[in-house]
Amino acid sequence: MTSEVSTPMLTGGCLCGAVKYAVADAFRYAMNCHCSNCRRTTGSAFKSFAGIERDRLRITEGDEAALIYGDEAAHDVHCGTCGSLLYSVVREGTYVHVAMGTLMDEPTIRPSMHIFVGSKAKWHEITDDLPQYDEFPD
Ligand SMILES: [Zn+2]
Ligand SMILES: [Zn+2]
């Protein structure tokens, strides 16, 4: 068992550098979400995200520059200057889903599945062998 203290921390941040965060390299799961919300908020074919308990992530720089979209229990945190989506607060406020593209350090975890494939962009073809689910797996 590794203690909380020795868990490596990863740094992440937005495009313009105004907002930075630190998160423990102890993600519980990671997925590629193809839903239309994830496509629109990232401008990408899908969003790779990694989930972890909310208290294991903290904003280290630019707290006042963060833009919150949503309510307390479920919201997206963007940089208010450049608009990057950094992470989302989910599951009644207990977890965060980090947008993996904003990580500057390499996490240990890898996305293990594709979700909401039923609503994926028609112009995007999934070419890996990871399991695919039409919505969220049971
Ligand atoms: Zn920014
Ligand atoms: Zn999604």
Domains of the chain with CATH codes: 9-119 (2.170.150.70)
Predicted TM-score (pTM) of the model is 0.93
Query: How many angstroms does the Cα of residue 47 sit away from the middle of ligand 2?
Result: 7
Q: What is the pLDDT of residue 83?
A: 97
Residue 42: pLDDT band with limits 50, 70, 90? very high
Average pLDDT across the chain, whole number = 95
Angle (CA) 96-97-103 rounded to 5° is 110
pLDDT higher than threshold 80 for residue 5: no
Run of H or E including 57: strand 57-61
- State the pLDDT at residue 117: 98
The alpha carbon of 31 and the centre of ligand 2 are apart by a number of angstroms equal to 9
What pLDDT is recorded for position 138? 80
Decide if pLDDT at 1 tops 60.
no
